[in-house]
């Protein structure tokens, strides 16, 4: 693939690029998203897809191929530009959006943002139960960098009826560091992450939730 244009592209422009894949599978009204998937925030679409498969949940992803890294702000991912995304949001009552990030001082932090704080706490409990102690699952919004909180109302994670949770994953838990090379494939921390997400989806809503389930 040749050199990519340096201008920033919008969400609909990225969808129109050759080899960009938009995928959606509708199952239960619990959903997973990874719209920065593929070569942009690596392995996020695989995490979302496998957690959805194991839990019978729905999933939506946008996958950029190798050599392509166009980042568009989450708040600009508008269902008006995609009938597939619009159908997913209409189908789901609550979602978890899976993202990848890397930031100094947060290399082992899994950040649980989004407007549905009950879902964030519920998912964090499942993740802490299965992940090694080296990882810190952060739920207090004040401890999450502002740009990674995922609370903007236009963010697609907050568009379903009962909003959702934005999960920011550092490289290590995605198996993208030299530590992962010491383990056989598949990387066990990554598998534990998926187990925790699938468990959170299967057990939602908890008995204490006031959410109405159709």
pLDDT at 181: 84
Instruction: Grade residue 31 by pLDDT with cuts at 50, 70 and 90.
Output: very high
Q: What is the mean pLDDT of residues 173-194?
A: 91
| Cβ neighbours of 132 (radius 10 Å) | 11
Euclidean distance between CA atoms 55 and 57, whole angstroms? 5
Euclidean distance between CA atoms 51 and 58, whole angstroms? 10
| Cβ neighbours of 80 (radius 10 Å) | 8
- Structural domains for the chain: 11-202 (3.40.630.100)
The gap from C-alpha 119 to its chain's centroid, in whole angstroms, comes to 13
Q: Do you find a cis peptide bond into 147, omega within 30 degrees of 0? A: no
Instruction: Grade residue 210 by pLDDT with cuts at 50, 70 and 90.
Output: low
Instruction: Grade residue 207 by pLDDT with cuts at 50, 70 and 90.
Output: confident
Q: pLDDT digit string (tens) for 98-139?
A: 999 999 999 999 999 999 999 999 999 999 999 999 999 999
Q: What is the mean pLDDT of residues 184-196?
A: 93
Task: Round the average pLDDT of the chain to a whole number and report it.
Answer: 94
Euclidean distance between CA atoms 12 and 77, whole angstroms? 8
> What CA–CA distances, in Å, run from 212 to 196, 197, 207?
23, 21, 11
């Amino acid at each position: 693939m040749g050199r990519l244009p340096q201008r920033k592209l919008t969400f609909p422009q990225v969808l129109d690029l050759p080899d960009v894949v938009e995928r959606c599978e509708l199952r239960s009204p619990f959903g997973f998203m990874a719209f920065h998937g593929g070569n942009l925030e690596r392995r996020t679409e695989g995490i979302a897809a496998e957690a959805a498969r194991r839990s019978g949940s729905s999933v939506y992803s946008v996958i950029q191929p190798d050599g392509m890294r166009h980042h568009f702000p989450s708040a600009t991912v508008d269902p008006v530009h995609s009938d597939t995304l619009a159908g997913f949001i209409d189908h789901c009552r609550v979602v978890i959006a899976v993202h990848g990030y890397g930031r100094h001082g947060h290399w082992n932090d899994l950040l649980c943002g989004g407007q549905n704080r009950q879902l964030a706490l519920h998912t964090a409990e499942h993740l802490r139960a299965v992940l090694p102690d080296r990882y810190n699952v952060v739920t207090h919004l004040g401890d999450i960098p502002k740009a990674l909180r995922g609370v903007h109302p236009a963010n697609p994670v907050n568009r379903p009826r009962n909003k959702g949770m934005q999960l920011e994953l550092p490289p290590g838990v995605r198996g993208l560091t030299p530590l992962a090379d010491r383990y056989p494939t598949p990387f066990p921390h990554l598998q534990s992450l998926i187990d925790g997400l699938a468990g959170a989806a299967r057990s939602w809503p908890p008995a204490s939730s006031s959410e109405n389930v159709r």
